[in-house]
Amino acid sequence: DVKVTQSSRYLVKRTGEKVFLECVQDMDHENMFWYRQDPGLGLRLIYFSYDVKMKEKGDIPEGYSVSREKKERFSLILESASTNQTSMYLCASNPEGETQYFGPGTRLLVL
Amino acid sequence: QKEVEQNSGPLSVPEGAIASLNCTYSDRGSQSFFWYRQYSGKSPELIMSIYSNGDKEDGRFTAQLNKASQYVSLLIRDSQPSDSATYLCAVPYGQNFVFGPGTRLSVLP
C-alpha cells in the first residue's frame, strides 16, 4: 500500500512564526505536491516537485517555500505565518503518469 | 488554463437510489480521468479511474467517459449513507492534476 504521511494532523501557530510542514512517502515516487484546501475554493496547488532539489511554483506560491533534499521527503515552509494561511494542507505524491495519493492532511490554525 | 467543472451540490438522494455525479473538462487532449471521494475533515482517496470511452464498473461505482462531449460521470448504485461525501473529479495536465471543486453528496436514510 502506498503511504504518504504528514508530520502533524493539527497545528496552532502565531502570526509571524516560521512553520514547517513535513511530508514523507514510502513508494519512491518522483512527483510530490503541496495543496491547500479551503471551503468553497477547492484544492489549490502551492508547489510541486518532480525530483530531488527540484521545485516548481503552483497556482498560489506567495508566502510559501519548499524543500526537497531527499526523494521521499517534501517540506512546505511558511516563512512568516499569517492568519490568511489558516487552512487544511494536503501533501500528495505519484509515480510518473499515475494517480496522486494523498497524505492525511494538516489542519493549520494561525492566531 | 485547463479547467475542470463540477456542480457543487449538495446533491441529495434517498438511500438505495442511484447518485449521478458529473464533471466536464476543457482540455480535449486529456486521456485519463480520476474520481476521488473526500469525507469531511479527511483527505481525498481514489475510487475510480477511467481512460477509454464508455463505462467502467467497480462494485457499486460506474465511471462513464465521453471524450467527444468532454464529460466524465460517476454513478453510485444502491447509495448508502456512508457514501455521503464530496466527490472530486481530477484530470492530469502534464505532471500536475487539475481538480474540480467537488460535488457534495448527501444520501438520506
Render pLDDT for A73-91 as a digit per residue (tens, 0 to 9).
Answer: 999 999 999 999 999 999 9
Chain B hits for A101, Cβ within 8 Å: 46
Half-sphere exposure of B54 (CA within 13 A, CB side): 3
Greater model confidence, B96 or A49: A49
Q: Residue B70's pLDDT band (boundaries 50, 70, 90)?
A: very high
| Residues B89, B105: Cα–Cα separation, whole Å | 13
Label residues A29-51 b or e (16+ Cβ within 10 Å = b).
Answer: bbbbbbbbbeeeebbebbbbbee
Q: What is the pLDDT of residues B1-43, one digit of tens each?
A: 678 999 888 999 999 999 999 999 998 888 899 999 999 999 9
pLDDT at A99: 86
Q: Are B63 and B74 in contact (CB under 8 A)?
A: yes
Provide the shortest C-alpha distance from residue B68 to chain A (in Å): 22
Are A45 and B90 an interchain contact pair (Cβ–Cβ within 8 Å)?
no
pLDDT at A9: 94
Provide the shortest C-alpha distance from residue A105 to chain B (in Å): 6
pLDDT surpassing 80 at residue B98: yes
